[in-house]
Amino acid sequence: MRTLILLSTLVVFIICTVRGLAGQEAAEITLTPSRLFTAEPFSRVRGVEELPDGRVLLVDQREEALYRIDFEAGTREMLGHRGRGPGEYKNPTGLHPFRGDSALMVDIVNGRFVVVSPEGELARTEPLFGPGVSLPEGADRYGNRYWDRVTGVRLAKREDPSADQAPIVRYEYASGQIDTLAFLTIPGPPNPNAFPAWDDWAVGPDGRVAIVRNQDEYRLDWVERDGTVRRGPPVEDFRPLRVSDDDERALRESRGGGYGGVARQGDEPVRRPPPIDVPDHFPPGKLRRLWVTYDRLAIVERHQHLSEERPLFDVFDADGSRTGSFRLPAGRELVGTGPSGLYAVREDELGFLWLELYEFP
């Protein structure tokens, strides 16, 4: 009888927990790292891809290196060499999933991709550009590449301020066709310099695209591989965060010491603040801070007061409903996801970056 009561209590707890996660008011938790890579630091991480055996590929742009990292053994090895020949690369700037569990590294100076095999070998290269093909901002396991045309909209705003729709474009690797999947809303002036309320997007390994709607209504939409758009429900408990005087002060101080020049009033020099158009409220999500995980979830990094050092993230499920929130410890930056969890870096007092792995709850 006691066992039956305990089991009944557990079932009720699980049901209540699931119902809570399915709603809009799921509890916020703080993650702790499950693994630390302490052998050597990094300088500027521009991409992370997990290999099938659990080892990790990492691109360090400042060091011009592609590393293979083994958390278990505590080792790091550089793959390939710096240069322009076979098995070489210069100034790598991105790392994406590719066909057959391989990875695609952007070799920007040499104008090509480097295909990295699941065994960590620099197998071959492919052209970076082609007719109508731009530098990819994402890729999937089918070899398809994705980018947006926000820059074109910003240029169009100079002639037509109402222009605000930027397409998300896909290049299909198998057919070579280029098509438009969906549109982003890009409101405001062409060159906002503080917290633009633009839509953001990211593509997952399975080819589904997540879009954060970042204006009056905070929600996440999904675009299926066939172009079908699944509109997510608005986050009901979202309240816009007001930009405080401290936020504006910190922003100005981060732009050249807080002053835009020196004017004269009579014989006295008067410092003037830089011309920064600061909005009344932060938009919900930060730009270029959206990830799609290997289990079809989307992670959005939220705007906070600039004094907050612990990053805050919302989690959305495959239907676009927010299921919870989590934080990383102070001073961390999320740099990628993989089957094993979330990859983040911690910056030390000398500016070096240390890689950490967090199990996803």
What is the spatial distance between Cα 356 and Cα 361, in angstroms, rounded to a whole number?
16
What is the spatial distance between Cα 175 and Cα 336, in angstroms, rounded to a whole number?
29
* pLDDT, tens digit (0-9, with 9 covering 90-100), for 158-194: 999 999 999 999 999 999 999 999 999 999 988 887 8
* Residue bearing tokens 């695209």: 209
What local confidence, expressed as pLDDT, does residue 66 receive? 97
Residue of 267, 276, 211 whose CA lies nearest to 243: 276
Is residue 35 scored above 50 in pLDDT? yes
Helix (H) / strand (E) element for 314: namely strand 312-316
AA letter at 82: R
* pLDDT, tens digit (0-9, with 9 covering 90-100), for 233-250: 999 999 999 999 999 999
**How many Cα atoms occupy the beta-carbon half-sphere of 87 within 13 Å?**
6
Classify burial at 333, counting beta carbons within 10 Å of its beta carbon; exposed 0-12, middle 13-18, buried 19 or more. middle
Span 347-351, average pLDDT:
96
What local confidence, expressed as pLDDT, does residue 274 receive? 55
What local confidence, expressed as pLDDT, does residue 15 receive? 36
What local confidence, expressed as pLDDT, does residue 265 receive? 53
AA letter at 361: P
List the beta strands (DSSP E) in 215-303: 218-223, 229-230, 261-265, 268-272, 285-292, 298-302
Q: What is the mean pLDDT of the chain?
A: 88
Span 311-329, average pLDDT:
96
DSSP 131-190: TTB---SEE-TTS-EEEE-HHHHHHHTTT-TT--EEEEEEE-TTT--EEEEEEEE--S-S
What local confidence, expressed as pLDDT, does residue 270 receive? 60
Distant-in-sequence contacts of 182-186, Cβ < 8 A, 24+ apart: 182/209, 182/211, 182/221, 182/223, 182/227, 182/229, 184/148, 184/150, 184/211, 185/213, 185/214, 185/215, 186/150, 186/153, 186/154
Is residue 23 scored above 90 in pLDDT? no
Span 50-74, average pLDDT:
96
AA letter at 310: R
What is the spatial distance between Cα 206 and Cα 187, in angstroms, rounded to a whole number?
30
What is the spatial distance between Cα 303 and Cα 146, in angstroms, rounded to a whole number?
25
pTM of the model: 0.86
Percent of the chain scored above 70 by pLDDT? 87
What local confidence, expressed as pLDDT, does residue 273 receive? 57
Are the CB atoms for 256 and 273 separated by under 8 Å?
A: no
Q: Is the dihedral of CA 148, 232, 301, 140 positive or negative?
A: negative
Among the ranges 10-24, 81-95, 300-314, which has the highest mean pLDDT value?
Answer: 300-314
What is the spatial distance between Cα 152 and Cα 149, in angstroms, rounded to a whole number?
5
Those residues with Cβ within 8 angstroms of residue 303's Cβ, 6 or more apart along the chain or in another chain: 195, 241, 282, 283, 284, 285, 286
Structural domain spans, the chain: 244-278
What local confidence, expressed as pLDDT, does residue 276 receive? 77
Span 48-59, average pLDDT:
96
What local confidence, expressed as pLDDT, does residue 21 receive? 40
